[in-house]
């Protein structure tokens, strides 16, 4: 689309200078593609939680359902990214280019903040050595299906047990210093779907010597409803396979989040058990070898399963045991596929230091709402 010079943001929610004695100015960036139903639930509590001087930028990535109108109705600044979906990485980069805040807060369109989420998430930036921070899903997901509940509770559990000095980044509820973000080139726009573009940025942040903090208390509610198919496809196509390609490129795996030593051992046990079950098609007696490794995987995951039982029921925890094994099997399978096959060449570092104050045009059309 033609290049446009960004217009100014509405004066009601943004400012261009930092008053003395105030917290760093925030620019909240929300990418969206056909997410009007989510935005209608997510934006009102977000607007209510914005601190003084903060701006809200919704980056509409070619939506056809009126997402931009929903955002404009609550006073957001709407960035029209283009007619063709470039993905959330590109959408966030466009928002960062026109942002005025010192801290960029990235939120997914399908999450709702708590009243204290933004304050907790940005508190670590009082330490000048911290360049980025991220939070967690909460443990009360609104969707009641067992797949959705499992997916969100597993994410919450992993983030709550992980180290505060993090080795990766999460853009579902994450923040980063704008200067650092632009200096590193932003998100890799080669990821055209919701994928591991935030993980890849986390690698670059750490490689550049920056600190990333996990703020367990900074939580959001995830509104998305998962099905068994959408969850497994996401785990395979958008997580395991591209992450394996990062490892193949020399990035390595962290030993935190869901890559701890015990997690790796549980994945190995599940892979062994599933392999034994597959071999039982040749000789039924080989299937007996699946019991021990699968039982070991369940034992390793016992803390999560007890948590699932407390948050729901024993029946749900039993189902979660099976879903967790399916998750681990998909992760191993996807990792093998990704490591052994080449992926598309990434198109890195599209965000630059050009912004609204530089007078340089961007590829975004911006409307002040």
CATH of the domain at 194: 3.90.550.10
| One domain for residues 276 and 357 | no
| One domain for residues 146 and 98 | yes
Q: Which two tokens stand for residue 37?
A: 């139903």
Spell out the residues 6+ positions from residue 253 whose beta carbon is closer than 8 angstroms to its own.
243, 247, 259
In this prediction, what percent of the chain has a pLDDT beyond 90?
Answer: 64
For 315-346, what is each residue's pLDDT tens digit?
999 999 999 999 999 989 888 888 888 765 54
CA contacts within 13 A on the Cβ side of 294: 17
Q: How confident is the model at residue 251 (pLDDT cuts 50, 70, 90)?
A: confident
**Three-state DSSP class for 186?**
coil
| One domain for residues 358 and 321 | no
Task: For residue 84, give its domain range.
Answer: 26-227+345-367
| One domain for residues 70 and 85 | yes
| One domain for residues 356 and 296 | no
Examine residue 301 and state whether it is found in any structural domain, yes or no. Answer: yes
Q: How confident is the model at residue 6 (pLDDT cuts 50, 70, 90)?
A: very low
Residue-level pLDDT at 305: 97
Examine residue 10 and state whether it is found in any structural domain, yes or no. Answer: no
Most confident of 8-17, 77-86, 103-112, 243-252: 103-112
Asked if residues 79 and 56 have their Cβ atoms less than 8 Å apart, the reply is no
For 55-107, what is each residue's pLDDT tens digit?
999 999 999 999 999 999 999 999 998 766 789 999 999 999 999 999 999 99
Examine residue 95 and state whether it is found in any structural domain, yes or no. Answer: yes
Asked if residues 133 and 243 have their Cβ atoms less than 8 Å apart, the reply is no
Comparing CA positions, the residue from 55, 64, 5, 49 lying closest to residue 29 is: 55
| One domain for residues 114 and 129 | yes
Domain count, the chain: 2
Asked if residues 180 and 90 have their Cβ atoms less than 8 Å apart, the reply is no
Examine residue 39 and state whether it is found in any structural domain, yes or no. Answer: yes
Residue-level pLDDT at 260: 83
């Amino acid at each position: 689309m033609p290049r446009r010079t960004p217009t100014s943001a509405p004066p009601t929610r943004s400012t261009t200078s930092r008053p003395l004695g105030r917290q760093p100015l925030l620019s909240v960036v929300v990418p969206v593609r056909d997410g009007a139903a989510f935005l209608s639930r997510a934006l009102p509590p977000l607007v209510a939680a914005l601190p003084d001087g903060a701006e809200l930028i919704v980056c509409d990535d070619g939506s056809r359902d009126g997402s931009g109108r929903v955002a404009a109705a609550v006073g957001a600044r709407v960035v029209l990214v283009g007619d063709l979906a470039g993905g959330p990485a590109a959408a966030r980069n466009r928002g960062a280019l026109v942002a005025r805040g010192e801290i960029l807060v990235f939120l997914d369109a399908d999450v709702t903040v708590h009243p204290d989420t933004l304050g907790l998430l940005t508190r670590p930036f009082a330490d000048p050595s911290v360049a980025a921070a991220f939070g967690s899903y909460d443990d009360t997901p609104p969707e009641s299906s067992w797949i959705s509940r499992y997916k969100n509770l597993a994410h919450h559990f992993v983030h709550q047990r992980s180290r505060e000095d993090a080795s990766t980044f999460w853009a579902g509820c994450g923040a980063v210093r704008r200067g650092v973000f632009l200096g590193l080139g932003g998100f890799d726009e080669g990821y055209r779907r919701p994928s591991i573009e935030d993980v890849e940025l986390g690698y670059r942040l750490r490689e550049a010597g920056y600190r990333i903090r996990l703020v367990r208390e900074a939580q959001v509610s995830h509104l998305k409803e998962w099905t068994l198919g959408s969850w497994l496809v996401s785990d395979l196509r958008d997580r395991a396979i591209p992450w394996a390609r990062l490892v193949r490129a020399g990035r390595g795996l962290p030993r935190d989040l869901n890559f701890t030593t015990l997690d790796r051992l549980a994945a190995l046990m599940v892979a062994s058990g599933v392999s034994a079950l597959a071999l039982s098609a040749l000789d039924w007696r080989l299937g007996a070898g699946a019991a021990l490794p699968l039982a070991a995987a369940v034992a390793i995951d016992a803390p999560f399963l007890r948590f699932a039982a407390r948050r729901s029921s024993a029946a749900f925890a039993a189902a979660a045991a099976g879903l967790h094994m399916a998750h681990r099997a998909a992760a191993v399978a996807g990792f093998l596929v990704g490591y052994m096959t080449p992926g598309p060449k990434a198109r890195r570092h599209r965000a630059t230091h050009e912004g609204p104050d530089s007078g340089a045009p961007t590829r975004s059309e911006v409307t002040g709402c």
